[in-house]
Amino acid sequence: MREQIVILDFGSQYTQVIARRVREGNVYSQILCYNTPARELAKLKPRGLILSGGPASVYAAGAPLPDRRIFDLGVPILGICYGVQAFAQFLGGRVEKGRKREYGKGTLTVKDPACALFQNLPAKLQVWNSHGDKLTKLPRHFKPVAVTENSEYAAIENRARKFFGLQFHPEVVHTPRGREIIANFVHRICGCGRQWTMRNYIDQAVEQIRAQVGKERVILGLSGGVDSSVAAALLHKAVGEQLTCIFVNNGVLRGREAEVVREVFGRHFKLKLQYENTSKLFLQRLKGVTDPERKRKIIGRTFIEVFTAATRRAGKAKFLAQGTLYPDVIESVPIAGNPAAMIKSHHNVGGLPRKMKFQLVEPLKCLFKDEVRQLGLELGLPREIVLRQPFPGPGLAVRILGEVTPERLRILRNADTIVVNEMKSSGWYYKIWQSFAVLLPVRSVGVMGDERTYDYTIAIRAVESQDGMTADWVKLPYALLEKLASRIINEVKGVNRCVFDITSKPPGTIEWE
Ligand code: XMP
């Protein structure tokens, strides 16, 4: 069985970050609901448990509490923030409402340098706090090992049982050495090795896919995005000729997108690629449509229609592969005040209709995005695909405000190509979440040479974000903006004005439609 750390989720917005930090130390981690029974946990043979933070108050009615028998599993436990209060609840400490909320930066002073959590770390550390309740009496057999300005019990331990509690958040970037604290827990205290690497994962995944699929055939909808591309490369390695990839050209792709996919997957990987050039059909149906939601619906429905017909042509297959990732399958904890449970991503393409009688193969479903990218590189996919920024399913249609016409598509494609190329050559493309051009269907007056022009406007959008849920606009250097504007206006016929979008999300959205 895979060596692993289990994280019990009490509804913290940082739970997934904890899981990623553990994996960055090359140890597999999975997130389970806070009330997972201890006997279920025991079956997984975790090397250690981490109790996440959470928005609740441990003494509030209906507060989420773990199965108390987790403390008898005999494995090391690290409680973070709310997780410490769970210790207090069961092991005899006291938690009270703090007089003031402790929020933001603090300085941690390590009092007991023998504590394994702080090995190879300085005695003073910058840490990030975010809690209202406070531990005021230690649980039995615990000792304080570090303090902050506001808390004598910022870090506590029961050395004999290997139980540790941190009132601050080691997982967030504002605790700069937090990674090492987590690594100390995982490696020194839980004794985990470094087996979780994408190179090792390839072998395990290939074996699993082969065991699931046997001699049957598999179909995969390849979009050219990171997830479906990596899934395709992995499945191809596992089952070769049994895999057919279907690539649908929906007419609203970026420049060269179809070519890159055909080149990489058809010619380089030599996998069976069924190319459906249905752009005419999509554009016909989009004709005259200006409402953004209708555009999305038309593209979504037409895609399903085309894809379904394509699967029939591809011949009988038992399996449908999808590039589902771990964040899509983690169930969020239904705790009031948990933002992750309330914000629902409105666009995840929802998948294909259930009546398509396939069994699913989802070889990426335990991976985070950064791991998928790493896996893609290990599988030999080019950086151009693996390091791609997200691109919406309805493509350029949601970046052309109003009606989508062949002329507008030409203009936006050309402007977009310039944005992508300049962002790449300046290195900014790889540092941020998304950068793209939007075509505004308003015409304004300009002069070019001696002529008066009356042309479209291109808006440039560049945002940084962790997950697309919130975003901030990127302060691109003036020189780069100048280059983008001047190239777009000079090289793209039909555009005489460029603007830069300085709206964050919220209140804006990343896409304009
Ligand atoms: P918004 O515009 O809602 O976008 O701030 C958040 C993220 O989702 C992407 N996006 C989509 N992805 N189908 C998709 O597959 C869609 O209809 C869609 N709309 C937006 C967007 O590019 C951003 O990364």
Q: Does the beta carbon of 511 lie inside 6 Å of ligand 1?
A: yes
Q: How many A from CA of 493 to the centre of ligand 1?
A: 28
Q: Counting atoms of ligand 1 from 1, which one is nearest the CA of 471?
A: 5
Compute the radius of gyration of the chain from its Cα atoms.
Answer: 26
Which two three-digit tokens encode residue 182? 């987590």
- Other CB atoms closer than 10 Å to residue 68's CB: what's the count? 12
- Which pLDDT belongs to residue 145? 98
Minimum CA distance residue for ligand 1 atom 4 = 510
Q: Does the beta carbon of 347 lie inside 6 Å of ligand 1?
A: yes
pLDDT tens digits, 25-62: 999 999 999 999 999 999 999 999 999 999 888 888 88
Q: Taking residues 2-11, what's their average pLDDT?
A: 96
Q: Does the beta carbon of 390 lie inside 6 Å of ligand 1?
A: yes
Residues 6+ apart with CB under 8 A from 203: none
Which two three-digit tokens encode residue 96? 């009270």
DSSP category for residue 432: S
- Beta strands per DSSP E along 74-190: 77-80, 94-110, 124-137, 143-147, 155-158, 163-166
pLDDT tens digits, 414-447: 999 999 999 999 999 999 999 999 999 999 999 9
Residues 6+ apart with CB under 8 A from 62: none
pLDDT tens digits, 121-158: 999 999 999 877 888 999 999 999 999 988 899 999 99
Q: Counting atoms of ligand 1 from 1, which one is nearest the CA of 434?
A: 24
- Which residues are identified as catalytic? 81, 169, 171
pLDDT tens digits, 276-319: 999 999 999 999 999 999 999 999 999 999 999 999 999 999 99
Out of 322, 343, 347, 391, mutate this one to test ligand 1's pocket (max ligand atoms within 8 Å of CB): namely 347
Q: How many A from CA of 253 to the centre of ligand 1?
A: 15
Q: Counting atoms of ligand 1 from 1, which one is nearest the CA of 465?
A: 24
With a cut of 70, say whether residue 338 has pLDDT above it. no
Coil, helix or strand at residue 351: coil
Amino acid code (one letter) for 48: G
- Number of residues that this document lists for the chain: 513
Q: How many A from CA of 284 to the centre of ligand 1?
A: 23
Q: What is the largest CA-CA distance in the chain?
A: 85
Which two three-digit tokens encode residue 383? 């950086």
CA 493 to chain centre: 37
Minimum CA distance residue for ligand 1 atom 20 = 392
Q: How many A from CA of 175 to the centre of ligand 1?
A: 30
Minimum CA distance residue for ligand 1 atom 12 = 392
CA 28 to chain centre: 17
- Domains of the chain in start order, with CATH, are 4-189 (3.40.50.880), 198-386 (3.40.50.620), 399-500 (3.30.300.10)
- Which pLDDT belongs to residue 98? 72
Minimum CA distance residue for ligand 1 atom 7 = 468
Minimum CA distance residue for ligand 1 atom 14 = 392
Q: Taking residues 324-346, what's their average pLDDT?
A: 65
Q: How many A from CA of 335 to the centre of ligand 1?
A: 26
Out of 302, 510, 512, mutate this one to test ligand 1's pocket (max ligand atoms within 8 Å of CB): namely 510
Question: Of the candidates 323, 314, 215, which has an alpha carbon nearest to the alpha carbon of residue 271?
Answer: 314
Q: Counting atoms of ligand 1 from 1, which one is nearest the CA of 511?
A: 2
| 248-275 core/surface letters (b: 16 or more CB in 10 A; e: else) | bbbbbbbbebbebbeebbbeebebbbbb
pLDDT tens digits, 494-511: 999 999 999 999 999 999
Q: What are phi and psi of 152, to 5 degrees?
A: -80, -15
Q: Does the beta carbon of 392 lie inside 6 Å of ligand 1?
A: yes
Coil, helix or strand at residue 244: strand
Please say whether the beta carbons of 233 and 379 come within 8 A.
yes
Q: How many A from CA of 511 to the centre of ligand 1?
A: 6
Q: How many A from CA of 428 to the centre of ligand 1?
A: 20
The label of the residue with tokens 């074996």 reads 207
**What distance in Å separates the CA atoms of residue 253 and residue 299, rounded to the nearest whole number?**
12
Which two three-digit tokens encode residue 306? 């085309």
Which two three-digit tokens encode residue 388? 């791609």
Residues 6+ apart with CB under 8 A from 475: none
Which two three-digit tokens encode residue 449? 């040479």
Q: 369-378 and 226-239 are packed helices; what angle lies between their axes, rounded to 10 degrees? A: 50
Q: How many A from CA of 90 to the centre of ligand 1?
A: 44
Q: Does the beta carbon of 510 lie inside 6 Å of ligand 1?
A: yes
Q: Counting atoms of ligand 1 from 1, which one is nearest the CA of 390?
A: 24
**What distance in Å separates the CA atoms of residue 512 and residue 373, rounded to the nearest whole number?**
27
Q: Counting atoms of ligand 1 from 1, which one is nearest the CA of 349?
A: 15
pLDDT band at 346 (very low <50, low <70, confident <90, very high): very low
With a cut of 90, say whether residue 332 has pLDDT above it. no
Q: Counting atoms of ligand 1 from 1, which one is nearest the CA of 508?
A: 5
Q: Does the beta carbon of 351 lie inside 6 Å of ligand 1?
A: no
Out of 505, 511, 513, mutate this one to test ligand 1's pocket (max ligand atoms within 8 Å of CB): namely 511
Q: Does the beta carbon of 369 lie inside 6 Å of ligand 1?
A: no
- Which pLDDT belongs to residue 58? 85
Q: Which helix (H) or strand (E) holds 294?
A: helix 292-313
With a cut of 70, say whether residue 341 has pLDDT above it. no
Minimum CA distance residue for ligand 1 atom 3 = 509
What mean pLDDT value characterizes the chain?
A: 93
With a cut of 60, say whether residue 350 has pLDDT above it. no
pLDDT band at 342 (very low <50, low <70, confident <90, very high): very low
Please say whether the beta carbons of 115 and 123 come within 8 A.
no
Query: What percent of the chain is predicted at pLDDT more than 90?
Result: 86
Q: Does the beta carbon of 395 lie inside 6 Å of ligand 1?
A: no
Q: How many A from CA of 347 to the centre of ligand 1?
A: 6
- Which pLDDT belongs to residue 246? 98
Residues 6+ apart with CB under 8 A from 509: none
